[in-house]
Amino acid sequence: MTMALTPDQLLAQRAELDKQIAVSNLPGLKAFKAALASGKVATLADDLAALLPQLASDNTMGTPFQQATALISVVRGVTDMFDREVERVQALADAQTGPAAE
């Protein structure tokens, strides 16, 4: 008869699986990061921010200005999130196998 695992043991197993899943996602994360840093996407937030003066600066919910600033925030936030996630997952992978050549 096998003993049931404790909640802490199950959480430890889940944490290990989460690390393995994250590391297996690394190539895809790097591809997304590269796509966000290339072409028009790389400058989209700055290009849109430069256009903001053409809109009435009414930041009321739903106005074009508010929607534009929200879009700029999303573009920058997604780019930053992928940058941070690649760093985090690369550190996990390096901890498992040693630093990889870039």
Chain segment 11-55, per-residue pLDDT in tens: 999 999 999 999 999 999 999 999 999 988 899 999 999 999 999
Task: Judge whether residue 102 has pLDDT over 70.
Answer: no
Q: Tell me, what's the pLDDT at 100?
A: 56
Q: In a 3-state reduction of DSSP, which class is residue 44?
A: helix
Q: Tell me, what's the pLDDT at 3?
A: 85
Of 77, 83, 95, the C-alpha closest to 30 is 83
Cβ distance 29 to 88 under 8 Å?
no
Integer Cα distance of 11 and 19 in angstroms: 12
Number of DSSP helices (H) and strands (E) in the chain, helices first: 3, 0
Integer Cα distance of 6 and 10 in angstroms: 6
pLDDT digits (tens, 9 = 90+) for 60-92: 888 999 999 999 999 999 999 999 999 999 999
